Structure 1
């Protein structure tokens, strides 16, 4: 006889598995010595209908700052109350979408002999039919978190090597940041 777990147990297991995988890839203070403006970006995850989702806000990105991704877990019944002067909209995207998107395109940029991928995910929210474009650093970080937690290959070409995720991601993020800083 198969036993079904209560939804709370499923949520807890999904979150604990995700935390363990993320911890394996935490660089700690490895880049704290870099002399860039620094800030962090929160990538809030929650479990909805048994799947991990990223919570997004529609706002602008700054490119002259070294951004540290911080993954946080929020309660499954969280209700966003954004300040409309700062945030236009809030929406959820299943984490799996960043590996198996329905609408996706990428561009390549070669800078100093390094090929950079610029990802763009088009996500249509099934709840309201609005299409969102997730691109730039936001797309890169969302893809990276999905790779770490889900441990699957995406359906498209990417810059990360799943057999050596730490080294390939360090190289990719530093090149991406250096390119953005050089545009200023």
Structure 2
């Protein structure tokens, strides 16, 4: 092996180990698994390319009834046979992009979110090989691409989009526009997908982003959990009021 290759391999290992240590500190495990919501999981696949951490994302097929053409992470609803959120994320990633579960180094589960269908969505973070070649299931996925993780704290093209929260108040969501030079395509990343990507980048890099976020960056995990529990409480109140 040439000296340059050895240096690249060592740098890749260093990046992965640094990220792994930071992520394990924020692993929520099954802390939120008991909540009485329908369950879903997504896999946040990290890989190292050109000496930088990247995140793999997919584009939903235009044939799908729900959110066709939107950027998302591999994932979906829990099956009865799934042991936990990790099982769900790995199974869905295999079905959608051909990712062998044995080839994923699972690191942690991060603070969940709640999607517009009121599923409890758990983000599962894992490393995959930089040589992974996706084989998208055309019924579910129309495209697969990677984005440098740092883009989610230092974007070139970013805006916020208004949305109504579960409590009925107005808030704002992240929206990133990313130009993929390799495939000569542009992708819009927003909603819960952008939310998870931003949080992951904040955890790993420990830097302040170039835009506003709803976290206490000095107490990231506690403020993330507080934000989630406030969201869950709003959903519970809305359900009660509809009874």
Pick from 210, 213, 226 the counterpart of residue 155 of structure 1: 210
* Unaligned 5+ runs, structure 2: 61-66, 73-114
- Say which SS state the counterpart of residue 218 (structure 2) adopts: helix
Q: Which residue of 2 aligns with 1:52?
A: 53
CA drift at 1:8: 1.1
Pick from 98, 104, 121 the counterpart of residue 152 of structure 2: 98
Distance 2:230 2:182 in 1: 37
Q: 1:27-42 residue pairs with structure 2 within 5 A? A: 27-42=28-43
Distance 2:235 2:209 in 1: 25
* Unaligned 5+ runs, structure 1: none
- Could you tell which deviates more after superposition, 77-86 or 100-109? 100-109
Distance 1:150 1:114 in 2: 31
The TM-score, its normalising length taken from structure 1, stands at 0.88
Q: Which residue of 2 aligns with 1:173?
A: 228
Distance 2:160 2:197 in 1: 15
CA drift at 1:27: 1.2
Q: Which residue of 1 aligns with 2:135?
A: 81
Q: Which residue of 2 aligns with 1:143?
A: 198
Q: After superposition, what is the alpha-carbon deviation per residue over 1:3-35, rounded to whole angstroms, capped at 9, x for unaligned?
A: 975211111111111110001111122112200
Aligned-residue Cα RMSD (Å) equals 2.6
Q: After superposition, what is the alpha-carbon deviation per residue over 1:57-78, rounded to whole angstroms, capped at 9, x for unaligned?
A: 1124753210110001001111
- Could you tell which deviates more after superposition, 87-96 or 127-136? 127-136
Aligned residues: 182
Q: Which residue of 1 aligns with 2:120?
A: 66
CA contact (8 A) 1:110 1:116 kept: yes
Distance 2:16 2:54 in 1: 11
